[in-house]
Amino acid sequence: MLTMNASPPSRPRAGVPDHFWFGSDKYHHAATLRRTLEQLYQQPVSGTLWTTEVLSAVSEVSISEIQRAFDPGPDLVERKTYERLLYALETDEESRQVCLRIHALLSSQLQQRGAPPDDIAQITTAAEFQQALAKLAEQAGLSLRDLAMKMRGHDSAHAWARSALSAYVTGQKLPDQNKKEHLRTLLVVLCKATGRAPEDAEHYLDAWQGLHARPQHRVPGGNTSPLVQLGRDRQDRQLGPPPAEQDRPSPEPVSLTGIGLFLLIATAIMAGLLLLVGIVLSF
């Protein structure tokens, strides 16, 4: 159960320094947990077509939380998040116990971070993130000048100028992938100004990272996912059965009187031909 063929829907590990894993078994534990989830995602029992979006809808776990669950470290999602994912993935009891046992071991080695608030968990598209960032900036009530100044005060190496901030805090533009630390600085400042919990900045950042890579894996010969099949069933009910299956008027039955008349005429013709042949032969 612990082999893998391709990459699962995991977040980038570039932010985790190598020395983080030294001196303990947490690297081994995290790798085992990751491989087990990858196997369940790539080769499910039912042959379901999994995408991060479908898994998120079925498990009711946000996409950013799924990415963190598949790639633990330096933080660890809650146990109930794993339980929801394992249930959605139709996990066998052996794999379920492996995952939960490893989670218990990692919980004493990694920092546990709770699930994101509902308003952040619901962010699944670029447009929704832009709107959420604009709303957060509006609630902060800071001018562009003050916002730029506070960003420089928090991290001068990763701070946007006032002219660059306008497009982000008004929902006109999504920050580029190479501006992760700039966005982190902005989110820290905005969360502090609005009185939100400090960890919400990381939750927003996770949601933003989840927008850039949405891998999809299909098991060869697998069945259609539950959500895709549900959509097709609804469409079928709206459109009705295909033309080949629709009721068609039955053809008119052939009249018995017509058949009898046809046979009578045919008999008369045959009799006439036989009489003609007899007369010809008599001569």
Q: Of residues 133 and 272, which shows the higher confidence score?
A: 133
CB atoms within 10 A of CB 268: 10
Contact 167, 173 (CB under 8 A): yes
Tell me the domain boundaries of the chain: 18-115, 118-209
Considering the domain delimited by 18-115, tell me its CATH architecture: Orthogonal Bundle (1.10)
How far is Cα 251 from Cα 91, in angstroms, rounded to an integer?
54
How far is Cα 214 from Cα 10, in angstroms, rounded to an integer?
9
> Is the predicted pLDDT of residue 17 greater than 50, yes or no?
no
Q: How does DSSP assign 35-65, residue by residue?
A: HHHHHHHHS-TT---EEHHHHHHHHT--HHH
How do residues 147-174 score in pLDDT, each as one tens digit?
999 999 999 999 999 999 999 999 999 9
How far is Cα 145 from Cα 217, in angstroms, rounded to an integer?
46
Q: Is 95 exposed, middle or buried (0-12, 13-18, 19+ CB in 10 A)?
A: middle
CATH says 118-209 is which class? Answer: mainly alpha
Q: Is pTM, for the whole model, over 0.75?
A: no
Q: Is 84 exposed, middle or buried (0-12, 13-18, 19+ CB in 10 A)?
A: buried
How far is Cα 198 from Cα 186, in angstroms, rounded to an integer?
12
How do residues 140-154 score in pLDDT, each as one tens digit?
999 999 999 999 999
Q: Quick check: helix, strand or coil at residue 163?
A: helix
> According to the model, what pLDDT value does residue 246 have?
46
Average pLDDT, the chain: 75
How do residues 98-151 score in pLDDT, each as one tens digit?
888 888 888 777 776 667 788 988 888 899 999 999 999 999 999 999 999 999
